[in-house]
Amino acid sequence: ERLKLVVEREKVTEEVRIVLRNIGMIDPRSIDQYIARDGYFALHKALFEMKPEQVIETIKESGLRGRGGAGFPTGLKWQFTAKAQADQKYVVCNADEGEPGTFKDRLIMEGDPHSVIEAMIICGYAVGATKGYIYIRGEYYGSVENIQKAIKDAYEYGFLGENILGSGFSFDLTVRLGAGAYVCGEETALLESIEGKSGRPRLKPPYPPTNGLFGKPTVINNVETFANVPQIILNGANWFKQFGTQGSPGTKVFSLVGNVVRRGIVEVPMGVTVRELIYKFGGGLVGGKQLYMVQTGGTAGTFIGVDKLDVPLHYESFRDHGVSIGSGVILAMDEDVCPVDVALNTMEFFEHESCGKCTPCREGTRLAVEILRRMSKGQGKREDLDTLKQIAITTQEASLCGLGQSINVPLLSILDNFREDFLAHIGTTACPKGVCRFEKPM
């Protein structure tokens, strides 16, 4: 039994590069080098050897789930759009990567832009869409440049435009830039922004697969999700399913940040543990310090203590163990970090990024910041902890979009898992970790 466990562990900890297979291997500005590594072969296969339904069936069968963070089944999403009746359909790539600490999509777009473009064309063929948009975070200059160059070359080579490779299928692709608003990464706010309106979320349902861009059926997927597609089409669903877990097949690209020795990006099969990510791939903590807390999944993710380091990460790990995978951030924090300060920092981010359209999010984030700011100044009260929890729950239940709906995850997890730190911060004359600046001795 022990040997079996060891073997399984070994299987999990190897790096597997599906999405990152070309990163560092090709010049991202050379379409020829992409083609030399089987680039656009999947598009050729889809167009000439597969019916649109077969493409969708393959993606469904592979079990690929949305890598933006929510893990919605990709093939199902494509099927919704394929079945919807409309004179025009769209494919949109959400490249407005805004989750603090996440920079995986940037690496993919800068290092292998054609993989995303190829996937979007395949998606267009599968669902019957002839137009696509890549909505890129405006600050990602390198991504914008490389994607634009790749689109230009793809047109020249006949992979984009009219009658692609003589197949009769046509597809056009355009780049749109974000302007620094976190909420524009929320899919409906993103669609509004492409339409030329202020980037504010719509009420869901209806969902974009049936009512998306300009009200038309629209597949909207994250960069990493798309980047998996060509390899799945080329190698088949069963090949993809050999990696990862049963419920979350494939790999995940993680961003390792914070006090780890090797900050950066790593692609590993789903099911990897936080411990492996921090100690094996991240090289442990800087200065040999003790790990104190980790935020998994991004700002909207969970704060966990060292007792949860061995939880396998996949799309059910939040439901099963209270550890979210989200967009794949692993933010390691050492013993010198104060959870009250971290909670304040997190809520200030949400308050700043709340678009203000709905009251629960606008006021909930503001109230949470007000209380946490008071606590960090040494003026906190015990009742504040319950009030913060109530704010978290109300904001989650009543907010219009994912931004407000997700503040309960970081807030409740930090209050639950680090309650002692919050209590130790109350009724004392100095921050126990010496991080927060108390205004005056109590």
Name the residue nearer to ligand NAI (CB basis): 260 or 300. 300
Among 75, 113, 178, 185, binds ligand NAI (CB under 6 A): 185
98 touches ligand NAI (CB under 6 A)? yes
Among 99, 153, 267, 276, binds ligand NAI (CB under 6 A): 99
312 touches ligand NAI (CB under 6 A)? no
CA-to-CA dists, residue 166 to 105, 127, 354, angstroms? 31, 19, 47
300 touches ligand NAI (CB under 6 A)? yes
Residues 6+ apart with CB under 8 A from 210: 80, 81, 84, 217
Among 25, 57, 80, 393, binds ligand NAI (CB under 6 A): 80
CA distance 224 to 105: 6
**Residue by residue, what is the 3-state secondary structure of 117-143?**
HHHHHHHHHHHCCCEEEEEECCCCHHH
- Return the residues of window 216-235 that contact ligand NAI according to CB under 6 A: 220
CA distance 390 to 395: 8
Q: 321 exposed, middle or buried (CB, 10 Å; 0-12, 13-18, 19+)? A: middle
- Segment near ligand NAI (CB under 6 A); pick from 62-70, 277-285, 354-362, 372-380: 62-70
CA distance 17 to 282: 17
Rounded to the nearest whole angstrom, what is the least distance from the CB of residue 223 to ligand NAI in the complex?
Answer: 9
- Segment near ligand NAI (CB under 6 A); pick from 97-105, 271-279, 349-357, 367-375: 97-105
CA distance 286 to 288: 5
Among 66, 75, 113, 199, binds ligand NAI (CB under 6 A): 66
297 touches ligand NAI (CB under 6 A)? yes
DSSP 3-state of 206: coil
101 touches ligand NAI (CB under 6 A)? no
Among 68, 101, 258, 282, binds ligand NAI (CB under 6 A): 68
CA distance 426 to 205: 43
The residue behind tokens 């971290």 is 342
Rounded to the nearest whole angstrom, what is the least distance from the CB of residue 207 to ligand NAI in the complex?
Answer: 4
Which residues are registered as beta bridge partners of 285?
A: 260
404 touches ligand NAI (CB under 6 A)? no
- Helix ranges (DSSP H) in 236-316: 237-241, 274-275
Write out the H or E segment, with its range, that includes residue 330: strand 329-334
- Return the residues of window 248-267 that contact ligand NAI according to CB under 6 A: none
Among 259, 327, 354, 413, binds ligand NAI (CB under 6 A): 327
326 touches ligand NAI (CB under 6 A)? yes
207 touches ligand NAI (CB under 6 A)? yes
CA-to-CA dists, residue 200 to 18, 185, 192, 352, 354, angstroms? 34, 10, 7, 14, 10
Among 21, 65, 77, 357, binds ligand NAI (CB under 6 A): 77
84 touches ligand NAI (CB under 6 A)? no
Q: Which residues of this protein are in contact with ligand NAI, per CB under 6 A?
A: 66, 68-70, 72, 77, 80, 97-99, 102, 185, 187, 207-209, 220, 297-298, 300, 326-327, 402, 406
